[in-house]
Every structure is written in C-alpha cells, then in structure tokens.
Amino acid sequence: MLASEIVTAVLSKTLSPDHDEDSALEIINRGLLDIAGGGDRPHGEALVAPLPALLTSAVVTVLASGSTVAMPSDYHRGLIRVTYLGEPLQRYENFYEFMEMYEGETGDPEGYCLKGSTLWVGPVSASARVLTVYYHKLPTTLIETSTPSELPSHLQYKLLYNYACREIYSGIEQGLEGHSPDTAKHAIAYRDALTDLERYIGPADGFAVNVGDEYFPNL
C-alpha cells in the first residue's frame, strides 16, 4: 500500500482543517517510528519486538587505547550481536559487572556493554579493533510514493491509519470535557494492530546465558 493512500484515507476520515497531505504524512512517519520502537503501549505492557525487516549489520572501529565507540547513526534498538574476527563477544547487561570484569585489563576484545548509543568494549586494546555489530536500524522515512514495506503488508494500513487518526482526533477532541469517542476508537484499533503485529513477528530474540557448574551439583 502506498503512503499516499493512507494519507488520503486519514484526511477523508478526520476532515481536519488543520491538516494537509504533508502534515498527515509527517504523523504517519511518527507512527512508523513509534511502531519500530515497540509501540506506545501502556506502562506494564511489553513493547513489541523489533521489526525483522530492520535488522542490519555494520562495522565500527574501537580506536587504540579506547574502550568506547558510537553505534552507527541509523541505530535504533535491539543490538543482538557483536563480533570480533568472526567470534561473538560476551554481552553484559549490567555496566558495573562489565567494569568489574575489564577495568584496567588490556588485550583483544572479549565483552561489550551498550549504554544508550555508546558501545563499551573490554579489555582495552593497544591497537585499533574492527567489530561487527548486528542491530535494528531506524525505519525508512516514507514519502507519498513509497510503501511502508518494513511492516507486514497485511498490517500496514491498520497500524498507520489508526495511529494517524488517533493523533489527529486527539487534537480535534481536546477540551471536550473528557468526551473523545473518535480518539478512543482509533486508540483501541491501534493497540489491537500492535497486538496483531506482536503475534506475527513473535517475541524479541533472547540472549544466551552462561551457566556455571555450580548449577549442576550432582554432575
């Protein structure tokens, strides 16, 4: 489905004098970014897993005597793997555990910890090291003649149409003493579409956990 078709449907539905094709497309692109980020679900509900179509890889270079490197500029979420010379590095979720393991150590890269968009790598190396990172990138900004192909084809309309209608109606119905039926209707439809997307793509990738011998005392 073309982005222009979704724009037309949104404007025909909302009939908002404050929005034209350009502003509707801008809202739709915000929706695409929201969906790629897991959806603005209520607190307590898990985010939708990263979109499989956004999985990519790139190389980054840790400079000599350095321990950090910026992730690629198109990095969005879901760093799932870092390798050096084809071998995966150990992932650390806890920065303090990472520092306890590698602070003051030197040698080839063994482990990493992501803080924001900065990748910490340990131990510190005396020379530059090239790493390969596997992650989910930012979605492609839509223009009217493009297709939101990074979303499953059967959910493109349901997701983006209802997100945009919700956003526009929330402005139209603002200040109506709590009565916002159209905003609520499209908010529910958008949440349902996120659930459909979650069922389609499945859960986020898990990560291997190292288990020591102490977990198997009888072996």
pLDDT tens digit sequence for 128-187: 999 999 999 999 999 999 999 999 999 999 999 999 999 999 999 887 666 789 999 999
Please tell me the predicted confidence (pLDDT) of residue 213: 45
Determine the Cα–Cα distance for residues 205 and 219; give it in Å rounded to an integer.
Answer: 30
- Residue 67 banded pLDDT, cuts 50, 70, 90: very high
Do residues 57 and 46 both lie within one domain?
no
Task: Return d(Cα 164, Cα 17) in angstroms, integer.
Answer: 15
Q: Do residues 146 and 191 both lie within one domain? A: yes
Q: What is the percent of the chain with per-residue pLDDT over 70, rounded to a whole number?
A: 92
Segment 94-139, tens digit of pLDDT: 999 999 999 999 999 999 999 999 999 999 999 999 999 999 999 9
DSSP 3: H
| Residue at a domain's end among 108, 137, 166 | 137
Between helix 156-172 and helix 3-14 the angle, nearest 10°, is 30
Same domain, 196 and 155: yes
CA-wise closest residue to 69 among 58, 77, 78, 80: 58
Q: Do 167 and 191 belong to one domain?
A: yes
Do residues 107 and 145 share a domain?
A: no
Residue at which a domain ends, from 110, 137, 164? 137
6, 17, 114, 134, 164 from 12: Cα distances, Å: 10, 11, 44, 41, 12
100 CB-contact burial (10 Å; exposed 0-12 / middle 13-18 / buried 19+): exposed
Count: domains in the chain = 2
Range of the domain at 130: 53-137
Assess whether 102 and 174 both reside in one domain: no
Residue 208, pLDDT above cutoff 60: no
For residues 65 and 122, state if they share a domain.
Answer: yes
Domain boundary among 137, 164, 184: 137
Residue 178 in domain: yes
What tokens does 120 get?
Answer: 């910490």
Decide if 109 is inside a domain: yes
**Does 71 fall in a domain?**
yes
Q: What is the mean pLDDT of residues 11-32?
A: 96
Same domain, 125 and 166: no
Q: What pTM was computed for the model? A: 0.88
- The number of helix segments (H) and strand segments (E) in the chain equals 5, 8
User: 40 vs 12, which has greater pLDDT?
Assistant: 12
Confidence of residue 41 (pLDDT cuts 50, 70, 90): confident
Both 57 and 117 in one domain: the answer is: yes
Residue 73 and residue 36 share a domain: no
- CA angle in degrees (0–180, nearest 5) for 71-75-78: 100
Same domain for 20 and 78? no
